[in-house]
Structures are given as C-alpha cells and as structure tokens.
C-alpha cells in the first residue's frame, strides 16, 4: 500500500512536470516527435531504470559510508552518459535511427535517487515520474495541434497558453486534500 501511495503521489500530486518542472520546456516537442517512436521509448526507459538502480546502489553503498554524498549528481551524470551512450550505439547499429534524449532522463534519475530510501522506492518514483509525463503528453499534443496548425513551430503563443494550462492543472491538483498520502507528516 505504501508503494501505491508513493506512485500516486509522484504521478499526480507531486507531478514531476508540474511541481518540479521536469521537461516543461522540452515536453511539447518530446510528446510530438519522439514519444510515438517505440525505439526511443524503450531505449530511454531502460536507461533510466538501469541508471536509477545503479545510482542508488553506488550512492547508498559507497558514497554514504564515505560521507561524500554531495557528488552523487556527478555519479548519476556519469552513469547515465555511459548507459545512454551504450544503448544509443546499439540502436544506431541495429536500426540506424536516432533516439537521443538526455536532460529529461537525467532529471528523472536525479530526482528519483534523491527522493528515495530504497532501490524499490527508486523504481516506484521513476515509474511515477514517467507516468506523470505520459499523462500530460496527450493534453500537450492536443494543445499543440490546436495552436500550432499547418506545421508551425512552437512560438510564444503556444508557450504562454501552455503555461496557463499547466497552472490550471496545478491548481486543480492543489485543491484536493492529499494528507492521506503522507500520514507521517501530520504527527
């Protein structure tokens, strides 16, 4: 039940896109161009999960006992670069397609490792963050098709309405009482 509450919390109420701002500037283009590409999706999801688990293990087993946890963002960066590069090489050799995306993947892994207390919790938080991006993608695609018709690039008009749209969704989520997700905070 605790893992379900954690998943719901990071998917809806502490949505990585809405509250943390993960990928706000990139999610409009990501959802349109790359999400429908299954190779892009599989490559990035697998590199996110592998990097998150390895980063948590390195942080908890090596950095924490040595009391040098301040460098865990560098460890996350190095692990994600190496894993993502390996998968990108495999994808390019087998399919000859590009599937590069780094900054959103990095922030997902960084947030999930920083907020977790176990490797399973890291996976649950990663899944919640990915689902929060996936839930918003259809709305963003629809909004983009409405505002940027005829193949136009996203301009100031799109981003101003997009940020208003995100603010309205954020206010809707903030209205609900979510204290049941974190009963320890009320003690």
pLDDT tens, position by position, 69-97? 889 999 999 999 999 999 988 888 888 77
Q: pLDDT class for 100, splitting at 50, 70, 90?
A: confident
Q: pLDDT class for 26, splitting at 50, 70, 90?
A: low
* pLDDT, mean of residues 118-127: 92
pLDDT of 117 strictly over 70: yes
Q: pLDDT class for 60, splitting at 50, 70, 90?
A: very high
pLDDT in the model for residue 130: 87
pLDDT in the model for residue 177: 62
* Token reading at 107: 């922030």
Q: CA distances (Å), 135 to each of 15, 27, 49, 127, in order?
A: 10, 11, 19, 12
User: 93 CB contacts (<8 Å, ≥6 apart)?
Assistant: none
Cβ contact 112:53 at 8 Å:
no
User: Looking at the whole model, is its pTM more than 0.75?
Assistant: yes
């Amino acid at each position: 039940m605790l893992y379900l509450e954690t998943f719901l919390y990071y998917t809806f109420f502490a949505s990585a896109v809405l509250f943390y701002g993960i990928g706000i500037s990139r999610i409009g283009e990501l959802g349109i161009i790359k999400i429908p590409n299954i190779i892009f999706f599989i490559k990035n999801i697998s590199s996110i999960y592998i990097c998150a688990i390895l980063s948590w293990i390195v942080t908890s087993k090596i950095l924490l006992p040595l009391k040098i946890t301040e460098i865990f963002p560098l460890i996350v960066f190095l692990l994600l670069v190496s894993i993502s590069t390996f998968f990108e090489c495999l994808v390019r050799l087998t399919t000859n397609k590009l599937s590069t995306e780094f900054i959103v993947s990095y922030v997902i892994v960084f947030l999930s490792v920083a907020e977790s207390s176990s490797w399973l919790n890291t996976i649950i938080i990663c899944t919640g963050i990915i689902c929060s991006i996936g839930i918003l993608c259809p709305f963003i695609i629809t909004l983009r098709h409405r505002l940027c018709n005829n193949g136009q690039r996203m301009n100031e008009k799109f981003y101003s309405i997009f940020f208003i749209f995100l603010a309205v969704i954020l206010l809707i989520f903030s209205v609900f009482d979510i204290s049941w997700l974190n009963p320890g905070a009320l003690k």
